[in-house]
Amino acid sequence: MSKWAMANPMVAQFAYFSIAASMATWAGLDVFRYRSDPNSAISGNQYYAVGVFGSDQNWWELSSMIRGFGVLAIWGLAALTQLLAIFGIASSANFFVWMFIVGGGSLLLGLSVGALRFLAYEQGYAKSLETPAVANGAKLMEAVKWDALMDLAAMGVSTLALYRMYDDWILAQWMGLSAEEQQVFLADLEDTVQEKNAQWTA
């Protein structure tokens, strides 16, 4: 009981919103500002020039674009629903977004981007082994590694922060549900417990 007595649901609400908004903003700035090229329609995006090898697919650029728009979509949606939940609106929808869209979506996005980055790294490695070696091969490998390290650091810090505030945040979502929604949730939980108990005792 002392644990819940010391809980601070509103702080958790703002913490979750801040993290989601920060992740979405970071991705948006990457896609539309820091890695954009106003002349890309003419000469291609020069930010990703080290990944260009003739007519070969630029796997680094593709992985970066998918990652950028994916992170922006997932965390932007989370920031929106979390902001609504702060004002007591759509707490059940916010819970769904964080559990399934942020959790499951981020996992699928990470796997997809990781596979594309592996192709980009292999591409750079193969070019670096050619005779004579292609100078951009080694540069591409470094660029891919740097992107992966930046994402690892960002996700690590955000996951740790979310985990530390998780119990308080769950309490906030529960408090934001209507009495009817709370009763439905408890009834579903009771049914689940009974089903599991029946399975274990069979």
pLDDT-above-70 percentage for the chain: 91
Mean of pLDDT over the chain: 87
61-97 per-position pLDDT tens digit: 999 999 999 999 999 999 999 999 999 898 889 999 9
Instruction: State the pLDDT at residue 44.
Output: 56
* Mean pLDDT, rounded, for 170-187: 81
**What are the extents of the domains in the chain?**
9-201
Please answer whether residues 136 and 8 qualify as being in contact, where contact means their C-beta atoms are separated by less than 8 angstroms: no
pTM (two decimals): 0.84
Instruction: State the pLDDT at residue 12.
Output: 92
* Mean pLDDT, rounded, for 130-155: 90
Q: At what angle do helices 166-176 and 135-164 cross, to 10 degrees?
A: 60
For residues 75 and 161, give the distance between their C-alpha atoms in angstroms, rounded to a whole number: 15
The least confident of 7-16, 85-94, 191-200 is 191-200
For residues 12 and 165, give the distance between their C-alpha atoms in angstroms, rounded to a whole number: 6
Has residue 186 got a pLDDT over 70? yes
User: Residue 42: pLDDT band by 50, 70, 90 thresholds?
Assistant: very low
Instruction: State the pLDDT at residue 184.
Output: 79
* Mean pLDDT, rounded, for 195-202: 75
C-alpha dihedral (13, 14, 15, 16), degrees to nearest 10 = 50
Q: What is the DSSP string of the chain?
A: -HHHHT--HHHHHHHHHHHHHHHHHHHHHIIIIIT--TTHHHH--GGGGGG--TTS--HHHHHHHHHHHHHHHHHHHHHHHHHHHHTTS-HHHHHHIIIIIIIIIHHHHHHHHHHHHHHHHHHHHHHHTSSSPPHHHHHHHHHHHHHHHHHHHHHHHHHHHHHHTHHHHHHHHHHHS-HHHHHHHHHHHHHHHHHHHHHHH-
The least confident of 73-82, 128-137, 178-187 is 178-187
